[in-house]
């Protein structure tokens, strides 16, 4: 299931977004937003961990650096039914650094190893690590090789590698996704040196051709913002990367059918949890990207003046506004 996955994305990959993505791909692995150990231990567990059963396979990404706290949160992940626990060692934000986790943990491979071991001792779930290829100006292959080697010795066999350095000072999280150069060769070399490990690559991959090219070198590909902004691409994944053609002999649902299913989901969410439809709809605004009428369709679904209407009426307005009928 690591062959293709959708990245954990703060403020984006919540359970509503994941439900939407699961309508488009049955096989790709989905990740939660990063949840800090403090939020789980001291906060509202249900709010952070609740998900729809349709979201499987689903991984929980944790942010933290205390082995005991991570073990406690891994047990919660198991109790709630997640399929994997992932440790964030790649986020470069200053807020995360102040919590002593994220990308700064790459400077402490033994601590990360201790964290992984504590989680593995606590649960039978797979434990993975998402990290960068280096931090700040450290660009030697030996740095990331030694990090992976130390963490692998603690029992981690799943690594998702963002093929950029994380600059801990001077760049925003967005700039950290764009300015440090991509170096895919480093990730490919890791796979050659650690053939027994599962290595997935992340960063700057936006087309099916690029995914297929990467799968010649590594075990999996993680897609981030392109999956969010171009969600219809996900509808091709099962056929293109998992050989799942026989499961959807009619080619799968159309965009309109996906939209209708999301509207039905909005109604269920409103009834069960009081969730307003716009909290869900924001995640599907890219569904008609590039199609005639897409801009007007997005405007209707984003119109704050319509917030009191039922979602089904908003959908009808969106279609009457000129979005048209597409497949």
What are the residue numbers of the active site? 91
274 φψ region: left (φ > 0), alpha (ψ -120 to 50), beta (else): left
DSSP class per residue in 7-74: ---TTTSSHHHHHHHHHH-SSSEEEPPPEEHHHHHHS-HHHHH---GGG-SEEEEEE---HHHHHHHH
CA distance 278 to 42: 29
CA distance 195 to 37: 32
Q: Which residues pair with 62 in a beta bridge?
A: 35, 87
Residue 285 Cα distances to 71, 90, 296, 318, angstroms: 37, 28, 11, 12
Q: Which residues pair with 166 in a beta bridge?
A: 135
Q: Where are the beta strands (DSSP E) in 203-277?
A: 220-223
Q: Where are the beta strands (DSSP E) in 94-157?
A: 127-135
């Amino acid at each position: 299931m690591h062959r293709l996955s959708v990245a954990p994305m703060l403020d984006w990959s919540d359970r509503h977004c994941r439900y939407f993505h699961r309508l488009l791909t049955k096989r790709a692995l989905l990740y939660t937003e990063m949840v800090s150990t403090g939020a789980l231990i001291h906060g509202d567990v249900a709010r952070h961990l609740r998900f729809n059963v349709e979201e499987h396979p689903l991984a929980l990404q944790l942010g933290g650096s205390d082995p005991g706290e991570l073990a406690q949160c891994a047990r919660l992940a198991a109790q709630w039914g997640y399929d994997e626990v992932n440790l964030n060692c790649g986020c470069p934000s200053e807020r995360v650094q102040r919590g002593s986790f994220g990308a700064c943990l790459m400077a402490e491979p033994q601590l990360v190893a201790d964290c992984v071991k504590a989680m593995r001792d606590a649960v039978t779930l797979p434990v993975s690590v998402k990290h960068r290829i280096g931090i700040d100006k450290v660009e030697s292959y030996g740095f990331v090789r030694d990090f992976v080697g130390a963490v692998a010795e603690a029992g981690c066999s799943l690594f998702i590698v963002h093929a950029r350095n994380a600059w801990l000072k001077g760049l925003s999280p967005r700039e950290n996704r764009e300015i440090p150069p991509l170096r895919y060769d480093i990730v490919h070399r890791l796979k050659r040196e650690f053939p027994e490990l599962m290595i997935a690559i992340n960063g700057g991959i936006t087309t099916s051709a690029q995914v297929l090219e990467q799968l010649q070198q590594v075990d999996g590909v993680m897609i981030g913002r392109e999956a969010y902004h171009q969600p219809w691409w996900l509808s091709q994944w099962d056929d293109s990367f998992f050989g799942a053609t026989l499961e959807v002999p009619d080619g799968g649902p159309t965009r309109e059918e996906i939209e209708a299913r999301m509207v039905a989901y909005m109604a269920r969410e409103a009834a069960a949890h009081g969730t307003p439809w716009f909290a869900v709809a924001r995640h599907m605004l890219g569904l008609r990207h590039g199609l005639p009428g897409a801009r007007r369709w997005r405007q209707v679904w984003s119109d704050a003046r319509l917030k009191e209407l039922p979602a089904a009426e908003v959908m009808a307005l969106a279609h009457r506004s000129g979005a048209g009928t597409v497949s």
